[in-house]
Amino acid sequence: LRTQRGQLRLRAPADALVTARLAEPGSTVVPGQAVVDLVDPGSLWVNVRFDQTSAAGLAAGLPAQVLLRSDVGAPLAARVLRVEPLADAVTEETLAKVVLASLPTPLPPLGTLAEVTIHLPELAAAPTIPNAALRRVDGKMGVWELGADGLRFAPLVLGRADLDGQVQVHSGLAEGARIV
């Protein structure tokens, strides 16, 4: 009888939170059937999606900040745990997992939305222009440049853009050029 009772005891494989109860007390269950869902708080991460055009330089170990939508406090320190090797071809996004340096107390609800900022390595110095000045003419990106003979379209080779609306110009625009 003791042996049978011992086989009825459920033991968690780790110190974890119960996130769902899949069977009620008194329910009949079969061997191998899940009766609870468990989550180890130490293994939590934030799933992040980045537009592939902005993901250059994204790598494991980079510092990050996470602002939970459920918490209006200060951003939480974090780091990129891993960048997934397979991108989402449909949404054209690169996927990454970001882990918090320390878990907030109380723990936010699982599935909470978050805003994540990754601190990418500094780029080489290059001239920048406002993103709003860019136009597409005949399939080429560029700006309208004001010269001695009036306006002319100047196609550009562009680099990275930042969150402040500035974009790097690699070539196509002379220093001191006036753009519209």
Q: What share of the chain is helix, strand, coil (3-state, %, to 5)?
A: 10, 40, 50
Residue 103 and residue 169 in one domain: no
Examine residue 7 and state whether it is found in any structural domain, yes or no. no
> Would you say residue 126 has pLDDT above 90?
no
CATH number for the domain spanning 141: value is 2.40.420.20
- Residue at 172 is within a domain: yes
Percentage of the residues of the chain whose pLDDT score is greater than 70: 99
pLDDT at 2 over 90: no
Residue 112 sits in a domain of what CATH number?
Answer: 2.40.30.170
* Residue 47 neighbours by CB under 8 Å, 6+ apart: 95, 96, 97
Residue 31 lies in a domain: no
Range of the domain at 75: 44-118
Say if 146 falls within a structural domain: yes
pLDDT tens digit sequence for 78-122: 999 999 999 899 999 999 999 999 988 888 888 889 999 999 888
Is the distance from CB of 75 to CB of 69 less than 8 angstroms?
A: no
63 within a domain of the structure (yes/no): yes
| Residue 123: inside a domain | no
Given this model, what pLDDT does residue 26 score? 85
Domain endpoint, select from 118, 136, 162: 118
108 plus 58 within the same structural domain: yes
Look at residue 59 and tell me if it is in a domain. yes
Are residues 111 and 54 both part of a single domain?
yes
Name the residue with tokens 């290059």.
126
CB 179 within 8 A of CB 145: yes
Is residue 174's pLDDT more than 90? no
Is residue 102 domain-shared with residue 73, that is, in the same domain? yes
Same domain, 111 and 60: yes
Cα distance between residue 170 and residue 126, in whole Å: 7
pLDDT in tens, 134-148: 999 999 999 999 988
Asked whether residue 103 falls in the same domain as residue 62, the answer is yes
Higher pLDDT, 61 or 125: 61
Domain count, the chain: 2
Whether residue 171 sits in one domain with residue 114: no
Are 53 and 113 contained in the same domain? yes
60 is a domain residue: yes
